[in-house]
Amino acid sequence: MQRCTRLLGILGLLAMSPAFSQQELPLYDGAIPNAIVAPDEERIRDPSEPHLFRLNISRPTLTVYLPRTPDAKRAGVIVLPGGSYRGVSIEKEGHAVARAFNEMGVAAFVLKYRTPDPRHMRDRTTGPLQDAQQALAVVHRRAAEWNIDPSRVGMMGFSAGGHLASTVATHFDQPIALGVPVEVLRPDFLMLIYPVITMREGLVHAGSRQMLLGDEPSDADIAKYSNELHVSARTPPTFIVHAADDAGVPVGNSLRFFEALQANKVPTELIVYPAGGHGFGLNNPTTPDRWIDRCRDWLVSQGFRQ
């Protein structure tokens, strides 16, 4: 009887265990490129906040979330949380999203990328892009180990993380990361949630631009990082979500990007909710509709998930 009870207890613990494994890794094996030797000033913005938000990041990491069931044809998604380039909403727009992808059988990788800051970075405009390109290289290099199909590696970004993801997807022919093969720099698909897209006046999120480009950005840098200007026929298939009443990052950012994608005949799905504001993460509180379910269906329709 005791043996039976013990067995049932073990089975119960297994049933309650998560259907994924998680591991945080340094993004770089050695020296961090474009870095200035400086103290590690990373901190939590406010420990009392319900969702963990990390500031002043100078040591980038990649947290690996793998579904427990092996599948060599599995897609992988690199998740870039938002935070106005001041930090990253690492739980709400990172770890929670990775767990949701694991539930649908997709591997996920949460990138804690460096925040642009001249105190720990030689060139603030390229540091985050270096990290995002390096993340793609790491996932491709270890695809067999992690049971990922290297032809199904995509990227998702929220808010400023959406700007970074769309930069990767429109500047993949311009390697910034050192020693990364150019053939792995183009994501196979792109998913943008209330993204910052443009650096031009009218629709720009001023805080993100100031952090990335400085107080007085040049016209050249504004044009370079206004990603609606760099869409081409090779931009990856894209899924976009935004709320029409977003007062932080105007919905026009997504609309301009959508128009550019359409002009270049890039397969795109755009969801604009009437309300929801900015920063709602997985759950828009104004609707029972769950965009992550729509995202799952879109991945199936595009051949990135079975």
> Is pLDDT of 179 > 90?
no
> Is pLDDT of 5 > 80?
no
Domain ranges of the chain: 21-301
Q: Tens digits of per-residue pLDDT, 221-236?
A: 999 999 999 999 999 9
3-state secondary structure of 248: coil
Predicted confidence band of residue 238 (pLDDT cuts 50, 70, 90): very high
CA-based nearest residue to 135, from 155, 106, 163: 155
pLDDT at site 9: 43
Q: Encoding tokens for residue 37?
A: 């030797």
CATH superfamily, with its number, for domain 21-301: Alpha/Beta hydrolase fold, catalytic domain (3.40.50.1820)
Answer whether 120's CB lies under 8 Å from 43's CB: no
> Is pLDDT of 7 > 50?
no
pTM of the model: 0.93
- Mean pLDDT for the stretch of residues 12-40: 80
Q: Give, in order, the Cα–Cα distances in Å from 242 to each of 82, 169, 281.
A: 14, 19, 11
Q: What is the mean pLDDT of the chain?
A: 93
CA-based nearest residue to 299, from 65, 18, 73: 73
> Is pLDDT of 85 > 80?
yes
Q: Tens digits of per-residue pLDDT, 114-169?
A: 999 999 999 999 999 999 999 999 999 999 999 999 999 999 999 999 999 999 99
Residue with tokens 């929670």: 96
pLDDT at site 3: 45
Q: Which residues pair with 273 in a beta bridge?
A: 243
Answer whether 87's CB lies under 8 Å from 120's CB: no
Q: Please give the share of the chain, as a percent, with pLDDT higher than 90.
A: 87
